[in-house]
Chains A and B, each alone.
Chain A
Amino acid sequence: MAIKHHLTDDLLMAYAAGTLSEAFSLAVATHISLCDDCRATLAAYEAMGGAILDRGDDLAPMSNDALARALARLDMPAPASAQKMPKHPVLPAPLQHYVGTDLSAIKWRKLGMGVRQAILPTNGKGGSARLLHIPAGHAVPAHGHRGMELTLVLKGAFRDEAQQFSRGDIEIATEADEHTPVAMGDEDCICLAVTDAPLRFNALIPRLMQPIFQI
């Protein structure tokens, strides 16, 4: 199924430049794993980084023995590179580094109204990441945002007031947006959600729960 909701150029450029937080980088890398359009755009933004490096109007000369010292290091064992992850129907490789490959082994915690979440172990600076499990027909409590929230569908589909989102689609919500995502059809929906600020819930109970659930 073709992906309809993509990353913005701002996010792709910041990811190429390496200025996004770990949580936002995870959402970008996971979307790109599923979206060839955004992968191609990322390649262009990385080529811009290459061009800036290549322009070379500012060189910083290395010390005289720099090459000799590098050559002396070449025979040392190379650091292990990242393990190649097997293809998974729900979890693209970047997510597998955080939750493994077994969906049933994920430790979910109740978020209320049937929705469950699993907070992912990112370094916590500049954003947090979680998986959301929304049973078919259920809704995530209506909420607005203080910052930016990215919601990427991994399984099933959800709709909010205006649009619908299927596997690979990413919803980008900002402070102006207030929405109630509802899992569509008869399949449970699993999403990756990252936020750069605590969500702002409208109903009293979820707001009281906020410190407990860390969302």
Chain B
Amino acid sequence: MLLDAHPWNNAFTPTKTLLQRLLREINGLCKGYLVLADKISSVAIGQETGAGPDFAGLMFSVRDKGDRAAYGVVFSHFAPRVKAFLMKSGSDAALAEELAQDVMVTVWHKSAQFDPTRASLSTWIFTIARNRRIDYFRRARRPEPEDLDWGASEEPDAADIYQTAEETRRLSAALSTLPEPQRALIERAYYGDLSHSEIAAQTGLPLGTIKSRIRLALERLRQNMN
């Protein structure tokens, strides 16, 4: 499979716009916090993204200073999302709350492993929640790929951080524009501990139809992001 053929390839091609260069310079001035950059980007990009808290900056503060206030902001934003995610995977509310607690405590302990140039904070927390789900419900190991050797660690590039977070925001926005049945299919593939054939049993749709609908939905998503 060529990378070119990938549905979101466009989203992963960094475009070094003027805005990003500006952001990088701003980041040089107020290292660690991208608050100002977020303000500028929300003005420049407007309603499309609705820039939220600077999660990368908050996480650097957690990692470097053990900043509990910063952690509280991350917790308040993500814990209810993780809990909702786990409830849709089939947990009852009490269990989902406990597992969400575990996930958010892991976010603290593994803060040094969070690399916002490679994954947005929501993507990283999604992988932690997914792994907790596998561990709890399947009692199975989760084989993970070998880490890439990224060479000498460089100062993370603010433009890269911004680009990565922006991709997740655009994916979210594009998801919202999908017709409900298509969006539900994609979401369900990620929520439940459900294989496609189990989705088929739930929705009454044959497996081939499910797969082609998911493909169609992904294709439409790609178009919406262009």
Q: Do A and B bind each other?
A: yes
A residues whose Cβ falls under 8 Å from a Cβ of B: 6-10, 13-14, 16-19, 21-22, 25-26, 28-30, 32-33, 36-44, 46-63, 66-67, 69-71, 73-74, 78-79, 81-82, 84-85, 92-94, 97, 122-123, 125
Question: Smallest CB-CB separation from A69: which chain B residue?
Answer: B101
Which of B82, B125, B130 is close to A18, meaning CB atoms less than 8 Å apart? B130
B124 within 8 A of A: yes
User: Would you list 9 pairs from A and B whose C-beta atoms are within 8 A, ordered by A residue?
Assistant: A18-B134, A18-B193, A39-B148, A41-B1, A46-B119, A47-B167, A60-B84, A82-B144, A94-B143
B63 within 8 A of A: no
Q: How far is the CA of A48 from the CA of B39 in the complex (A)?
A: 25
- Determine whether the beta carbon of B171 is less than 8 Å from that of A47: yes
Chain B contact surface mostly: helix
- Determine whether the beta carbon of A58 is less than 8 Å from that of B7: no
Q: How far is the CA of A6 from the CA of B125 in the complex (A)?
A: 27
B160 within 8 A of A: no
B residues whose Cβ falls under 8 Å from a Cβ of A: 1-3, 6-8, 11-12, 68, 71-72, 75-76, 78-85, 87-88, 93, 96-97, 100-101, 104-105, 108-110, 118-120, 122-127, 129-131, 133-134, 138-148, 167-169, 171-172, 175-176, 186-187, 189-191, 193-196, 211, 214-215
Query: Which residues on A sit within 8 Å (CB–CB) of B141?
Result: 22, 97, 122-123
Query: Which residues on B sit within 8 Å (CB–CB) of A56?
Result: 80-81, 84
Q: How far is the CA of A67 from the CA of B105 in the complex (A)?
A: 10
Query: Which residues on B sit within 8 Å (CB–CB) of A37?
Result: 1-3
Q: Could you tell me the distance in whole angstroms from the C-beta of B145 to the nearest C-beta in chain A?
A: 4
- Determine whether the beta carbon of B79 is less than 8 Å from that of A62: yes
Q: How far is the CA of A97 from the CA of B196 in the complex (A)?
A: 28
Q: How far is the CA of A43 from the CA of B187 in the complex (A)?
A: 17
- Determine whether the beta carbon of B131 is less than 8 Å from that of A18: yes
Q: How far is the CA of A189 from the CA of B144 in the complex (A)?
A: 24
Query: Which residues on B sit within 8 Å (CB–CB) of A81?
Result: 110
Given A19-B193, A39-B145, A52-B175, are A59 and B2 neighbors across the interface (CB < 8 Å)?
Answer: no
Question: Smallest CB-CB separation from A59: which chain B residue?
Answer: B80
- Determine whether the beta carbon of A47 is less than 8 Å from that of B144: no
Given A41-B6, A54-B122, A74-B108, are A66 and B101 neighbors across the interface (CB < 8 Å)?
Answer: yes
- Determine whether the beta carbon of B190 is less than 8 Å from that of A29: no
Among A39, A53, A71, find the residue whose CB has the most chain B CB atoms closer than 10 A: A53
- Determine whether the beta carbon of B144 is less than 8 Å from that of A29: yes
Given A60-B93, A73-B105, are A22 and B145 neighbors across the interface (CB < 8 Å)?
Answer: no
Q: How far is the CA of A36 from the CA of B196 in the complex (A)?
A: 26
- Determine whether the beta carbon of A60 is less than 8 Å from that of B96: yes
Q: How far is the CA of A55 from the CA of B221 in the complex (A)?
A: 15
Q: Could you tell me the distance in whole angstroms from the C-beta of A43 to the nearest C-beta in chain B?
A: 7
Q: How far is the CA of A62 from the CA of B75 in the complex (A)?
A: 10
- Determine whether the beta carbon of A53 is less than 8 Å from that of B143: no
- Determine whether the beta carbon of A60 is less than 8 Å from that of B87: yes
- Determine whether the beta carbon of A66 is less than 8 Å from that of B138: no
Q: Could you tell me the distance in whole angstroms from the C-beta of B131 to the nearest C-beta in chain A?
A: 7
Q: How far is the CA of A56 from the CA of B52 in the complex (A)?
A: 13
- Determine whether the beta carbon of A50 is less than 8 Å from that of B195: no
- Determine whether the beta carbon of A22 is less than 8 Å from that of B140: yes
Q: How far is the CA of A28 from the CA of B142 in the complex (A)?
A: 11
Given A19-B195, A56-B81, A78-B109, are A49 and B123 neighbors across the interface (CB < 8 Å)?
Answer: yes
Query: Which residues on B sit within 8 Å (CB–CB) of A85?
Result: 146
Q: How far is the CA of A54 from the CA of B80 in the complex (A)?
A: 11
Q: How far is the CA of A36 from the CA of B108 in the complex (A)?
A: 29
Query: Which residues on A sit within 8 Å (CB–CB) of B215?
Result: 9
Question: Smallest CB-CB separation from A46: which chain B residue?
Answer: B123
Q: Could you tell me the distance in whole angstroms from the C-beta of B106 to the nearest C-beta in chain A?
A: 8
Which of B80, B171, B191 is close to A62, meaning CB atoms less than 8 Å apart? B80
Question: Smallest CB-CB separation from A31: which chain B residue?
Answer: B145
Q: How far is the CA of A75 from the CA of B110 in the complex (A)?
A: 13
Q: How far is the CA of A47 from the CA of B72 in the complex (A)?
A: 23
Among A43, A63, A70, find the residue whose CB has the most chain B CB atoms closer than 10 A: A70
